[in-house]
Amino acid sequence: MHIVELIDTYLAAHGDRVRATDDTGDWTGHALSERARRLAGGLRARGTGRGDRVGVMMANGVDVLVAYEAAWRAGAAITPLMPALTSGEVAHILGTAEPAAVLVSAETAGTARAARTAAGGTFPLVGAGGDVPLAEMEGGAEDAPGPGTGAAPVPLDDGDLAAVLFTGGTTGRSKGVMLTHRNLTAAARMAAASDDAGPEDVSLVTLPLSHGFGLIAFLVTHLRPLRLLVRRRFDPDGFAATVRAEGVTVADVVPAMLQALLDAGHVHSGALRSLRRLYVGGAPCPPDLIEAVEDALPVRVIEGYGLTESGTLIAGDSPSRPHRRGSVGVPFEGVEVRVVGPDGRDVPRGGTGEIIVRGPAVMAGYWRDEAATAGAIRDGWLYTGDLGCQDPDGHLRIAGRRKELIIRGGFNVHPADLENALRACPGVTGACVVGVPDRVLGERVVAAVVGTCTAAEVERHCRATVAGPKRPDVVVMVESLPLTPVGKPDRAALAAALAARDRE
C-alpha cells in the first residue's frame, strides 16, 4: 500500500471528522484533502511530476499536512527542512536534493531564498514570502476526482520514493535518507501497533513535523483516527496551558521536552492530568525522568527507539506491556535485531555491541551516495552505529553511539551509562558526557552538568557509584546543555565549547 491509498482509506471512513486544528481553526479530513488535491494540481501544472522532490520548509501547522499530501498526490517525494536550519545547511540540502519546488511559510521564506541563491537553484518558492502564494498554487484543478473537472491522479507504487529525509549532520554533512511508500506505511503500522488511541483522543503536536519522529506521528493517525492539535513550537508553559484547556490525552515528545516540563513545575501542577499516554523518542530517555513523570501523573510513558534510516522505528514499549527500567522495549513485529562485535559476529546475549537491523521500514539507501549506502547496509542489514545490548527476553538497551564511545586509558566509557549515573546525583537535572583528547590517556572524560548541586558534590557521588576508570575526569557545571533542533544533546557543540573554554 502506498501513502495516498492509506490516506484515502482513512478519508472513506473518517473524512467528515475534524482531522486537525491549528491557529486557523478546525479542519476535517475532507477539507484538508481537497486543499491537497488542488495544490497537487498546481504543482503538476508547473512541472512537478512522479519521481521529483518537493521541499517543505514550513512552520508547524495544517499547511504542512496539506503540503505533504499534495506532494505525494503529485507523485513526488517530500524533502522536509526544519525551520531552525541555517541558510548554509538548507543550501546543502537543496543543492543535493534538487527539488522541483520548495513550499515555505513567512518565517522560513527568507532563509530558503538565501539558500536557493547559494545553491544556484531555479525552482520556485511557494507560500508566504515566496515567489508564488500558496492560495494561488492551490487555485488549479483538483488532482483527483471531486468537485470540478479534476485531473487524473498520478499512478503510484509502494516502491516509489516517498521521502528524502536529511539527517541532522551532527557527525558530518547531512545525508539524504531515501524512504519509500512501503517503508513509511510499514513504519506507520508498527507505530499503530504500540498505540491504543481512539477517536475520542486529542493528540498535541509540538514536535517539528519536518522531523522523522513528527512525520511518523502524523502518518500513524491515518490508522488511529483522532484529532491532531498542531502548535508551531514547543515551550513548557504553552504546552501545559494547551493540555489543560483542550483536554489533551496523547502527545509525542523528546526527553528534553519532558525535562523542561518537569523543571517548569508543570508535571506536579495538575495541568497535565488529562494526559494518558506520552510517546517519547528521538534520544534515550533517562529512567529517572520517566519514573518522575509517571509517579506524578496518571500517564503511561511509552518509550521507543529508532533512527531515520530505519523509518524512525526499531523497538518500543507497548501500553499492554510493563515498562522495564532502562530498556527501550522490544523489536517491533517484522523487525530483526542483532548485536554484533567489531568482527560482525553476534555477541553473547546481554553483551554490548553494535545494533544492526533489517525489516520493512529500513531505508532504500542514501540519496545519490552509493559509498555511504554500502557502508550502512551490508548483506541486507542496517548498521545503526548505536551500541547496545539485548536482555535474554529481547528487551533492548542503548549504550550510546559507536562514534561517541570514549576510550580512556584502554577502558570503554559509554556516555549514556555515565549520564544516567550522573542524573542520579541529588540536584542534577541534566548531564552530557564527551571525550576530549589527552596525550597520556588518549581521551579524558568530561561531564557537563546542569543542576543546583556543586561540581564537588557530583564528584563525590561518582566516587560512590561509578567504577574508577569510568568516572569523569572533569565535571563542569553549566546553565544549560546545547541541543540539536529536535532536542538531542549536541555533543559536537559541547565538545567545541569545552575546547574553547580550555583555550581561554
Query: 84-96: per-residue pLDDT in tens?
Result: 888 988 999 999 9
Q: Domain ranges in the chain? A: 3-187, 405-503
Strands 330-331, 315-316: parallel, antiparallel or unpaired by DSSP? antiparallel
Number of residues written out for the chain: 504
- Residue partners of 321: CB distance under 8 A and separation at least 6: 329, 330
Checking if the pLDDT of 148 tops 50, the result is no
Checking if the pLDDT of 500 tops 60, the result is yes
User: Please, which pLDDT band fits residue 291 given cuts at 50, 70 and 90?
Assistant: very high
Whole-number pLDDT of residue 170: 40
Q: Taking residues 291-308, report their average pLDDT.
A: 94
Whole-number pLDDT of residue 311: 95
CA distance 462 to 444: 15
CA distance 204 to 182: 26
Output phi, psi for 92, to 5 deg. -60, -45
Least confident of 150-164, 246-260, 417-431: 150-164
Checking if the pLDDT of 169 tops 70, the result is no
Could you tell me the CA-to-CA distances from 404 to 118, 170, 188, 363, 421 in Å, in that order? Answer: 32, 11, 30, 23, 17
Q: Which CATH architecture has domain 405-503?
A: 2-Layer Sandwich (3.30)
User: Please, which pLDDT band fits residue 147 given cuts at 50, 70 and 90?
Assistant: very low
CA distance 211 to 422: 29
Read off the pLDDT of residues 239-278 as tens digits, 9 standing for 90 and up: 999 999 999 999 999 888 998 999 999 999 999 999 999 9
Whole-number pLDDT of residue 498: 83
CA distance 3 to 185: 6
Q: What is the CATH number of domain 3-187?
A: 3.40.50.12780
Output phi, psi for 16, to 5 deg. -85, -10
Indicate the SS3 state at residue 446: strand
Going by C-alpha positions, the residue among 346, 378, 350, 349 that lies closest to residue 362 is: 378
Checking if the pLDDT of 296 tops 60, the result is yes
391 secondary structure, DSSP code: -
Residue type, 101: A
Contact predicate 251/279, CB 8 Å: yes
Whole-number pLDDT of residue 80: 97
CA distance 260 to 262: 5
Checking if the pLDDT of 152 tops 90, the result is no
- pTM metric for this prediction: 0.84
CA dihedral for 138, 143, 145, 150, sign (positive or negative): positive
User: Please, which pLDDT band fits residue 142 given cuts at 50, 70 and 90?
Assistant: low
CA distance 161 to 181: 6
CA distance 20 to 32: 9
Residue type, 109: A
Output phi, psi for 269, to 5 deg. -85, -15
User: Please, which pLDDT band fits residue 408 given cuts at 50, 70 and 90?
Assistant: confident
Could you tell me the CA-to-CA distances from 475 to 174, 435, 443, 496 in Å, in that order? Answer: 31, 12, 15, 16
Residue 423 zone, left/alpha/beta (φ > 0; ψ -120 to 50; rest): alpha
Contact predicate 79/163, CB 8 Å: yes
Checking if the pLDDT of 380 tops 50, the result is yes
Checking if the pLDDT of 150 tops 50, the result is no
Average pLDDT, the chain: 91
Q: Taking residues 346-365, report their average pLDDT.
A: 96
Checking if the pLDDT of 146 tops 70, the result is no
Q: Which residue has the cell 519536518?
A: 210
User: Please, which pLDDT band fits residue 22 given cuts at 50, 70 and 90?
Assistant: very high
**Greatest mean pLDDT range, 243-247, 465-469, 484-488:** 243-247
SS3 readout for 321-350: ECCCCCCCCEECCCCEEEEECCCCCECCCC
Checking if the pLDDT of 436 tops 90, the result is no
SS3 readout for 99-153: CCEEEECCCCHHHHHHHHHHHCCCCCEECCCCCECHHHHCCCCCCCCCCCCCCCC
